[in-house]
């Protein structure tokens, strides 16, 4: 049996987004085929909850291979959609520090109905716990009135790590051959 809906979707105006794709891009770092949100339509900062959607099109990167001749939105992509929604809320309202919000884990995920191209996937997430360096969310996805997936996820902050440029060999160090192998004949 599915859990009760996080929101009464009949009370939400999907024609007047609070944040469109351009506004989402100011918060979320994902680009190109990994952008999995179209709009945010409701934010409830008092209850730490958010509603958005993804318009699933015929141009999705997974169409050709999952499944050939019968495209089904992969479950991992559904979870990514929910994670981007929760990530938007976490970063917009400064729940956690860090450059990005990354997946820390998922639990109790259930896929209840397939999602096909040319569907609007409605996404809901609610913060259930904020502890130290992690935020936990309950999430649900709907197509029309049908719950298609649900579960719990954990988000953790990720900081960019600056990778130092490789150092140049010195006279005291072994020389490096053209193919990258170290010349130890000295």
Q: Measure the CA–CA gap between 182 and 162, rounded to whole angstroms.
A: 26
Look at residue 169 in the predicted model and tell me its pLDDT.
65
Element spanning 83, H or E: helix 75-92
pLDDT tens, residue order, the chain (186 aa)? 899 999 999 999 999 999 999 999 999 999 999 999 999 999 999 999 999 999 999 999 999 999 999 999 999 999 999 999 999 999 999 999 888 889 899 999 999 999 999 999 999 999 999 998 999 999 999 999 999 999 999 999 998 886 677 777 665 544 444 444 444 444
User: What is the number of helices (H) and of strands (E) in the chain?
Assistant: 2, 6
**Spatial contact of 122 and 9, defined as CB atoms under 8 Å apart:** yes
Where are the domains positioned within the chain? 12-158
In angstroms, the Cα distances linking 64 to 26, 60, 81, 113, 144 are 30, 9, 19, 20, 25
- SS3 state of residue 142: strand
Look at residue 186 in the predicted model and tell me its pLDDT.
45
Specify the pTM. 0.85
Nearest to 127 by CA among 148, 99, 155, 92: 155
Nearest to 3 by CA among 114, 143, 130, 142: 142
Look at residue 101 in the predicted model and tell me its pLDDT.
87
Look at residue 170 in the predicted model and tell me its pLDDT.
60
Look at residue 173 in the predicted model and tell me its pLDDT.
47
Sign of the torsion angle spanned by Cα atoms 106, 107, 111, 112? negative
Q: Which fold has domain 12-158?
A: Thiol Ester Dehydrase; Chain A (3.10.129)
Look at residue 177 in the predicted model and tell me its pLDDT.
41
Partners of 130 in beta bridges: 135
Look-up: residue for tokens 């900062």? Answer: 45
**Which are the catalytic amino acids?**
66
């Amino acid at each position: 049996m599915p859990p009760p809906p996080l929101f009464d979707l009949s009370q939400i105006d999907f024609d007047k987004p609070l944040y469109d794709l351009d506004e989402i891009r100011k918060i979320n770092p994902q680009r190109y085929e990994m952008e999995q949100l179209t709009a945010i339509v409701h934010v409830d900062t008092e209850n730490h909850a958010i509603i958005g959607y993804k318009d699933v099109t015929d141009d999705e990167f997974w169409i050709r291979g999952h499944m050939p001749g019968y495209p089904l939105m992969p479950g991992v992509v559904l979870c990514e959609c929910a994670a981007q929604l929760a990530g938007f809320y976490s970063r917009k309202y400064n729940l956690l520090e860090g450059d990005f919000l990354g997946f820390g884990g998922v639990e109790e995920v259930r896929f209840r109905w397939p999602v096909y191209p040319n569907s609007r996937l409605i996404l809901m997430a609610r913060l259930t716990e904020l502890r130290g360096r992690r935020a936990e969310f309950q999430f649900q996805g709907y197509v029309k009135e049908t719950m298609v997936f649900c579960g719990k996820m954990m988000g953790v902050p990720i900081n960019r790590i600056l990778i130092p440029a490789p150092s140049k060999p010195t006279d005291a160090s072994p020389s490096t051959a053209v193919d990258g192998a170290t010349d130890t004949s000295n």
